[in-house]
Amino acid sequence: MSGVIETRGLVKRYGGFTAVDHVDLDVGKGEVFGLLGPNGSGKTTTILLLLGLTEPTEGSVRVNGLDPLRQPLAVKRRVGYLPDQVGFYDNMTARENLSYTARLMGLSGGEAAARIAAALERVRLADVANKRVGAFSRGMRQRLGLAEVIMKQAEIAILDEPTGGLDPQSTQELLEMIGELAGEGMTIVLSSHLLAMVQSVCDRVALFNKGRIGLTGSVADLTSDVLGGTHVVEVEADGVDLAAALAGTDGVTGVTATRTGGWRVDTAADLRPEIARRVVGAGGQLRTMSIRRTTLDEVYVRFFEEEARHAEAA
């Protein structure tokens, strides 16, 4: 894989606290890569390390083959960054804010104006371009931050909690814009604590917990690796012991009783007909059955629960 971003044994300690603990990342060109995990699990620190905005205690980072500590200007020219809860100068208009960053990037006046207009158009802020940012909503600020990344024509976009604090509609809009950018070949690294929400846009994800990466891979791979199945079938039935009835069925990877007469069945495919047949065959009465795809939240909870249990046992 042609690694656009590579980290090896990345460690960041603040005093005695280890914020990032031996993180190895490989992000390929054109990928949408998700850094997922709860607040305080080291996602933002990892991002700052990628940008060279903080120094690693140990380990190395390569962005496009460059070292962000030694060649920071070259790295920062290629990478666009949307920080968590991005801030702008409230007394300046959207256009003025972007024009200031454009000058910091070293763009000439004419080119900057054209790029700013195009970027604002894309994030649908063109009609408020000359309004002060102080009056902007959370979602508009977030979109303005994305406009800055677009204006920069960055090869890599690093987005820290891009959907944090947004309502569902703004979240959907923003994710669509991110998807469009990815479609144009931009490499995107995004972090989020809302696992289920971003699983749709990510090609691959890394699950963070306490500064470590627990798992890396595509969403489908992770669900099948950890839970053994990609689907969850919820079954309600009377007069049957589902665990016994389903024993030995192909594709069923787990049966857990959720309450009396209710089960959760993890499966590798849509096995509803087979399950129904088994329930009836065992003399039970099938009441309801529903199917859905496994979410990353379930993977996360299951994986780190098991890890914690192993740690306790050890």
Interface ranges with another protein (CB under 8 A): 14, 44-45, 48, 51, 53-54, 67, 70-74, 76-77, 79-91, 100-101, 103-106, 145, 148
**Least separation, in Å, of the C-beta of 114 and another protein?**
19
Minimum distance of another protein from residue 262's CB (angstroms): 45
Angle at 246 between CA 242 and CA 247, to 5 degrees: 115
Least gap, CB of 124 to another protein (angstroms): 21
CA-based nearest residue to 200, from 172, 221, 181, 222: 172
Beta carbon nearer to another protein, 89 or 290: 89
CA dihedral 253, 259, 260, 262 (to 10 degrees): -50
Helices assigned H by DSSP within the chain: 43-51, 72-78, 94-105, 109-122, 138-152, 168-183, 195-198, 219-226, 242-245, 272-281, 296-313
Cα(123)–Cα(142) distance, integer angstroms: 10
Q: Which is nearer to another protein, 81 or 263 (CB)?
A: 81
- Nearer to another protein among residue 65 and residue 89 (C-beta): 89
- Closest CB 186 distance from another protein, rounded Å: 16
CB of 61 to another protein, least distance (A): 13
> Which is nearer to another protein, 76 or 278 (by Cβ)?
76
Within a 10 A sphere around the Cβ of 133, how many other Cβ atoms?
A: 20
Helix (H), strand (E) at residue 11: strand 3-14
Query: How do beta strands 231-238 and 212-217 pair?
Result: unpaired
- Closest to another protein by CB, 66 vs 252, is 66
Shortest Cβ distance from residue 50 to another protein (Å)? 11
Cα 228 from chain centroid (whole Å): 22
73 or 314: CB nearest another protein:
73
Q: What are phi and psi of 160, to 5 degrees?
A: -100, 115
CB of 152 to another protein, least distance (A): 8
Q: Supply the minimum distance, in Å, between the C-beta of residue 48 and another protein.
A: 6
109-122 helix and 138-152 helix, angle to the nearest 10 degrees: 130
Nearer to another protein, 100 or 234 (CB): 100
Maximum pairwise Cα distance, the chain: 78
Between 104 and 313, whose beta carbon lies closer to another protein?
104
